[in-house]
Amino acid sequence: MNSELAGRILNKDKRAVARGITIVENSNSGSAQLLKQIYSDIGRAFRIGITGPPGAGKSTLTNQLTKFYRKQGKTVGIIAVDPTSPYTGGALLGDRVRMSEIGQDVGVYIRSMATRGSLGGLSKKAIDAADIIDAAGYDFIILETVGVGQSELDIAQAADTTIVVLVPESGDAVQAMKAGLMEIADFFVLNKSDRPGSNQAVSAIKTILMMRDHDASSWMPNIIQTVASENTGIEETAAEIQRHREYLTGTGSLNKKRELRTRLRIKEIVEDKLRTELWNNDRENSLNSSLGKVVLGNLSPYHIADEILENFRKQF
């Protein structure tokens, strides 16, 4: 049945894509099998990561970019990763606007993935979902997430080009720079650039970019000014994506990036499998019955851990 599903995904059947992503999202047993079946058909889509603070206009930028690509006859898959922080309440509303604007277009596939409580697993699942969309033949995949905590690092790992979206006010730029978003940005979009302070913000970003350690890389992140809600600067953003894409291809960095992504993924697969074997019913039970001894008595968790490991090694 999965083999039939894989066939339907390769045939660009949107409902099959949706079902495939649900399978990887729930990490159910068919997941590895499905991904094996589609694996030879991925690698053609170009993956764009979009991150930034709440309210920077990431969804609007994504929508406008999508419309731009559609006019060029390209197809677009969108994965909106929502870490469901208690303090980013806009996701649902944004989704509704998005659906009414581009959701009905046959050349657009949109999927939201919520990740609360499984942040560590976000990268793998987002990559798996992107692989399914890739296998279905979409030209571009946009991975969009709010930049809080870990999620923006995961997105940078999953994307070929990463865009950090900022706005002029509130010192966002400087905060973002300090906190390490500089390393993941292939370029910056300064959205809402019709607001006061826009040019100063561009200068601030440039100044900080100049101070950073230059590595051997010849790529220098640009800053594109946009007003996404008025469709201003979208063409320039697409052009910058294209410029970065050509840089990646020309220098061999695209394959390098994808190798790193594959590396992370293989490690996750290996560790997941090992973890499943490790925590079988017997060892879960033996762990449970040891807990009381640790809490009440004086046996350290390190002693119990050693016992479990020894038992695990014996099985081979």
Sign for the pseudo-dihedral over CA of 192, 194, 200, 203 = positive
What mask, x for binding a copy of itself by CB under 8 A, covers residues 186 to 205?
Answer: --------------------
Q: Tell whether residue 125 is a contact of a copy of itself (CB under 8 A).
A: no
Q: Tell whether residue 304 is a contact of a copy of itself (CB under 8 A).
A: yes
Length of the chain: 316
How many Cβ atoms from other residues are within 10 Å of residue 287's Cβ? 15
DSSP string of 137-200, one letter each residue: T-SEEEEEEE-STTHHHHHHHH-SEEEEEE-SGGGHHHHHHHTTHHHH-SEEEE-STTSTTHHH
Q: Tell whether residue 281 is a contact of a copy of itself (CB under 8 A).
A: no
Q: Contacting a copy of itself (CB under 8 A), which of 20, 57, 83, 168?
A: 83
Residue range at the interface with a copy of itself (CB under 8 A); choices 102-110, 201-209, 218-226, 300-308:
300-308
User: For strand 140-146 and strand 223-225, is the pairing parallel, antiparallel, or unpaired?
Assistant: unpaired
Least distance to a copy of itself from the beta carbon of 195, Å?
18
Q: Which two tokens stand for residue 196?
A: 């006061």
Instruction: Evaluate whether 49 touches 79 at the Cβ level (below 8 Å).
Output: no
| Total residues at interface with a copy of itself (CB under 8 A) | 70
Q: Which is nearer to a copy of itself, 185 or 238 (CB)?
A: 185
| Residues engaged in binding a copy of itself (CB under 8 A) | 32, 35-36, 39-40, 43, 53-54, 83-87, 89, 116-117, 119-120, 147-153, 171-172, 175-176, 178-181, 255, 258-259, 262-263, 265-267, 269-271, 273-275, 278-279, 287-288, 290-292, 294-296, 298, 300-305, 308-309, 312-314, 316
